[in-house]
Structure 1
């Protein structure tokens, strides 16, 4: 089993920040409750209050795939995409063994 990490950023339109914050908090809460989630955070840049970086850690690819089909993800993620004026595609990582 290989742990999966994801990092992606979205730049949210200023007029959408309040709505984004509500949706982001719901997404965090529900994603953290998923069985295969090890960590889920959405971080705001200190230099740009509209820039948010998602950092997710999943038990394995299967857990991540299940997450992508959950009602909360399939409802919230398209809304976040619509609020974004710039997004980076997700980058996936695994840990380097020592």
Structure 2
């Protein structure tokens, strides 16, 4: 199982657009094969920081997700909606038995 943690800071005045883009990709991604969980949330200390938590069956499922049209549209859209670079970390964990 693969867990992906991310965060991005919305560009000034662009939070609403970033949240809308996150909602759109979430709706499409949750039905991707191998997607076990896919959520976005606001940081409690800074509402302009959007946090993501993704859980994938395996690396192959994440790789497939990255090729989908909805993912590519999201990546293209958020480029101008965030301040600086997003952060992401990847964690491989054993499947719960």
TM, length-normalised to structure 1: 0.88
Relative distance call for 1:4 and 1:83 in structure 2 (3 A) is same
Q: What stretches of structure 1 move > 4 A for 4+ residues in a row?
A: none
Are 2:18 and 2:82, in contact at CA under 8 Å, matched by a contact in 1?
no
Which residue is equivalent to 2:66?
68
Inter-partner Cα distance in structure 2 for 1:21 and 1:48: 14
The structure in which a higher percent of residues are strand is 2
TM, length-normalised to structure 2: 0.89
DSSP-derived class of the 2:44 partner: coil
Which residue is equivalent to 1:28?
26
How many residues align? The count is 96
The structure in which a higher percent of residues are helix is 1
Gaps in structure 2 of 5+ consecutive residues: none
Gaps in structure 1 of 5+ consecutive residues: none
Which residue is equivalent to 1:92?
90
Deviation for aligned residue 1:97: 7.7
**Coordinate RMSD, CA, aligned:** 1.7
Which residue is equivalent to 1:39?
37
